[in-house]
Chains A and B, each alone.
Chain A
Amino acid sequence: MVRIDGKGDGTALVRVRNLDKKYTRGNEEIHVLQGLNLDVDAGDFVAFMGPSGSGKTTLLNLLGGLDVPTSGSITVAGDEITRMSSGNLTAWRARHVGFIFQLYNLIPVLTAFQNVELPLLLTRLSKAERRKHVETALAVVGLSDRMGHYPRQLSGGQEQRVAIARAVVADPTFLLCDEPTGDLDRKSADEIMEIIDRLVREHGKTVLMVSHDPQAAGRAKVVLHLDKGVLMEAAGGLA
């Protein structure tokens, strides 16, 4: 269940309260997010839509612990990340968050296997265990036969699938997707959304996604609109 009225009962996986984010550009103060509340349960798939500059990516960055709010709090699985130090936040990200970017952001000098293995380098897993996890993640996205390929040898869709495998390989608490289909053609975009959908349905993953693409957002259980830093329910209401 997803709520944006700030009246959740405290059992939500992600709990956002009175979130404010302001930037200062020169003498001008820009209020990107204003008093935002959000409750997302485990296993939910939420899409955020809205015009450019509405604060979607900022919200995602705050939820992922990449940025700090001006005020308000974010609690994920009982951890209030807005109170964490930078070092703790980095360790928290490694354990709890899987990121999927619009431009895939793979490391070009590493193979698909090595890219997916990156988050596991921060764990205590042995080499054999890491290999097993990577092979499983690549199998989930249907790229078992491309493990030794470098990003330049893969299509855009395949690169994004490697990025998804990298995001899920360490079994994070939730996935944050920033325009995951924004750089893909329709067919590849549908394939990517199918994989994300499957991660939610079959693997019980919690996904929070930003998208401009109504078709991609249509796959989500809940679509929320963000406009001028204020979160609103989509026309169909909340699930």
Chain B
Amino acid sequence: MKSFRLVWANLRRKKVRTTLTIGSFAVALFLFGLLAAIRVGFRGGADAAGADRLNVINRVSLILPLPLSYRDRVLQVPGVANVTYATWFGGVYQDERNFFAQFAVDKDTWFDVYADYVVSPEGRAAFMRDRQACMVGRALAKRFGFKVGDRIPVRGTIWAGDWEFNIAGIFEGSRPDADTTGMFFRADYLEENRQFGKGTVGWYVVKLRDPGDAVQVTKAIDALFANSPFETLTQTEKAFAASFVNQMGNIELLIMTIGLVVFFTLLLVTGNTMAIAVRERSGELAVLKTIGFSDPRVMRLILAEAVLIAAQGGLVGLALAKLVLPGLTRALPMLGVLYVSPLTFAAGFLLALAVGAAAGLLPAIGAMRLKVVDALRRV
């Protein structure tokens, strides 16, 4: 700590070089924050999935419906606490660029099964009262400036016509990564006004009494509808969300590859910068050793410089990512809620420190091994 002033003074020696190196770290960590947020956004559904919920879809394809009559039969399966259902609506609000997800849901059970969506009692009551009621997520409301009581026109793409909804409430997520970019409206409104598909739903969501029963309940439900015209495929919600993400390709591998390339490049750039810095200062390092600074102490000084550069760059980059992501969420809602979680921030910061230390290691070893007599002769 007593030598901190020396480390700090050395960083200010070549201000442009230090700033550029800090800048490289900042850019890399900004990218890290961004990619990590996108990864979380893509996996958001899977990570936020409840362990006590199962999804029941048509065995042939997710886009094919299931009969509404299945609900009561699923409810009879031992281990099932509640059943709700939803149907993808796919409407357009004003312009196709204004994409957001709309689901027709069972008004009585949806928010009981999805207790992680937080709805006010007034909102819930209004949702129950009005057939054209809808609930919008906090992020969606913020994006379009929706308020409770607003009337939203949506043009149907699957079921043609102009559909109008009254905002009964704004739901929040109980977790910071909860997706609040969508809208839920009443399935009975859809049922009454759609031209086809009456008596069907998109998928069921089953709430289990005990998450430990998931395997046997899954088997029981699928057995119930085996050899019927609408066979089912029951999965845990996590598996369902993960398979949904996987339809978009191996995003995770892509993100990891980009991240690795960026950090490897950063390692080379910073290592080279530190090596130049040490070479330029070999005379001064020799003087320090002459005065009595031990070899390990000189090594620590160089490592501390590299780590301090990394720490500053890391903090700047991650802070920038934190600042930019809310705007990106608004601009690209299809990516989900993008944010830098405390865990991502900590992981990024530690990664920056590790890269800084790794980049400084070889130059620091060089400084440690520097022979005083040889270095002084070069001064």
B is bound to A: yes
Asked if residues B290 and A93 are in contact (CB atoms below 8 Å), the reply is yes
Q: CB distance A107 to B287 under 8 Å?
A: yes
Find out whether the CB atom of B294 lies under 8 angstroms from the CB atom of A119.
no
**Complex contact A94–B12 (CB within 8 A):** no
| Interface core residue of A66, A109, A119 (most chain B CB under 10 Å) | A109
How long is the Cα–Cα vector from A113 to B193 in the complex, in angstroms? 85
Closest to A87 in B: B294
- Collect the chain A residues with CB atoms within 8 Å of residue B9's CB: 107, 109-110, 114
Instruction: State how many residues of chain A have any CB contact under 8 Å with chain B.
Output: 25
Check if A66 sits within 8 Å of B372, measured CB to CB: yes
What is the distance, in angstroms, from B278's C-beta to the closest C-beta of chain A?
Answer: 14
Q: Tell me the chain A residues, 89-148 only, with Cβ under 8 Å from chain B.
A: 90-91, 93-95, 99, 101, 103, 105, 107-110, 114, 118-119, 121-122
Chain A 159-183 near chain B by CB (<8 Å), digits 1 or 0:
0000000100000000000000000
Specify which chain A residues have a CB less than 8 angstroms from the CB of B372 in the assembled complex. 66-67
Residues B293 and A64 in contact, CB atoms below 8 Å apart: no
Main secondary structure of the interface of B (DSSP, over half): helix
Q: Which of A50-89 contact B (CB under 8 A)?
A: 61, 64, 66-67, 86-87
Q: Does B292 contact A (CB under 8 A)?
A: yes
Tell me how far the C-beta of A114 lies from the nearest C-beta in chain B, rounded to whole angstroms.
Answer: 7
Residue of A nearest to B1 (CB): A121
Contact of B12 with A109 in the complex, beta carbons under 8 Å: yes
* Residue contact B5 to A114, C-beta cutoff 8 Å: yes
Residues of B with C-beta under 8 A to A66: 290, 372-373, 376
Q: Which chain A positions have C-beta within 8 A of B12? A: 109
> Are A122 and B292 neighbours in the complex by a CB distance under 8 Å?
yes
Check B291 against A107 for contact (C-beta < 8 Å): no
B367-378 interface bits toward A, Cβ cutoff 8 Å, 1 = contact, 0 = none: 000001100100
B289 and A90 contacting across the interface, CB-CB below 8 Å: yes
Nearest B residue to A110, CB-CB: B9
B162 interface hit (Cβ, 8 Å) = no
Is B288 part of the binding interface, using a Cβ–Cβ cutoff of 8 Å?
yes
B169 at the interface (CB under 8 A from A): no
Give the distance in Å from the alpha carbon of A61 to the alpha carbon of B372 in the complex. Answer: 9
Q: Which of B10, B293, B295 is close to A86, meaning CB atoms less than 8 Å apart?
A: B295
Task: Give the chain A neighbours of B293 by CB distance below 8 A.
Answer: 90, 122
Q: Is B261 at the interface (CB under 8 A from chain A)?
A: no
Q: Verify B295–A105 contact, CB threshold 8 A.
A: no
Query: How distant is A165 from chain B, measured CB to nearest CB, in Å?
Result: 13
Smallest distance from the beta carbon of A84 to chain B beta carbons, Å? 13
Given A66-B373, A67-B373, A114-B9, decide whether A105 and B292 contact each other with a Cβ distance below 8 A.
no
Q: Specify which chain B residues have a CB less than 8 angstroms from the CB of A94 in the assembled complex.
A: 291-292
Bound together, the chains give a CA A67 to CA B10 distance in angstroms of 27
B291 touching A61 by the CB < 8 A rule?
no
Contact yes or no, A121 B290, CB < 8 A: no
Q: Which of B5, B283, B292 contacts A91 (CB 8 A)?
A: B292
Q: Give Cα A95 to B293, complex, Å.
A: 11
A109 and B10 form a contact (CB under 8 A):
yes
- Chain A: which residue is nearest B291 at the CB level? A119
* Bound complex: CA A78 to CA B37 (Å): 66
Residues of B within 8 A of A118 (CB): 6, 288, 291
- Asked whether any CB of chain A lies closer than 8 Å to the CB of B76, the reply is no
Asked if residues A121 and B3 are in contact (CB atoms below 8 Å), the reply is yes
Most A-side CB within 10 Å, residue of B10, B13, B292: B292
Contact of A121 among B2, B287, B295 (CB under 8 A): B2
Shortest CB-to-CB span from B302 to chain A, Å, is: 14
Q: Is residue B253 within 8 Å, beta carbon to beta carbon, of the partner chain?
A: no
Q: Is B379 an interface residue (CB 8 A)?
A: yes
Contact A99-B373, Cβ < 8 Å, known A110-B9, A121-B3: no
Within 8 A of A (CB), among B349-379: 372-373, 376, 379
A218 CA / B292 CA spacing, docked (Å): 30
Q: How far is the CB of A65 from chain B (nearest CB, A)?
A: 9
Complex alpha-carbon distance, A176 and B6, angstroms? 25
**A43 to chain B: closest CB distance in Å?**
23
**Residue contacts A-B, CB under 8 angstroms, 27 given:** A61-B373, A86-B295, A87-B294, A90-B294, A91-B294, A93-B290, A94-B291, A94-B292, A99-B291, A101-B287, A101-B376, A101-B379, A105-B284, A105-B376, A107-B6, A107-B9, A107-B288, A109-B10, A109-B12, A110-B5, A110-B6, A114-B9, A118-B291, A119-B291, A119-B292, A121-B2, A121-B3
- List residues of chain B with CB under 8 Å of any chain A CB: 2-3, 5-6, 9-10, 12-13, 283-284, 287-295, 372-373, 376, 379
Further contacts, 12 of them, CB under 8 A, given A61-B373, A109-B13:
A67-B372, A86-B295, A87-B294, A90-B294, A93-B290, A101-B376, A103-B379, A105-B379, A107-B9, A109-B12, A118-B291, A119-B291
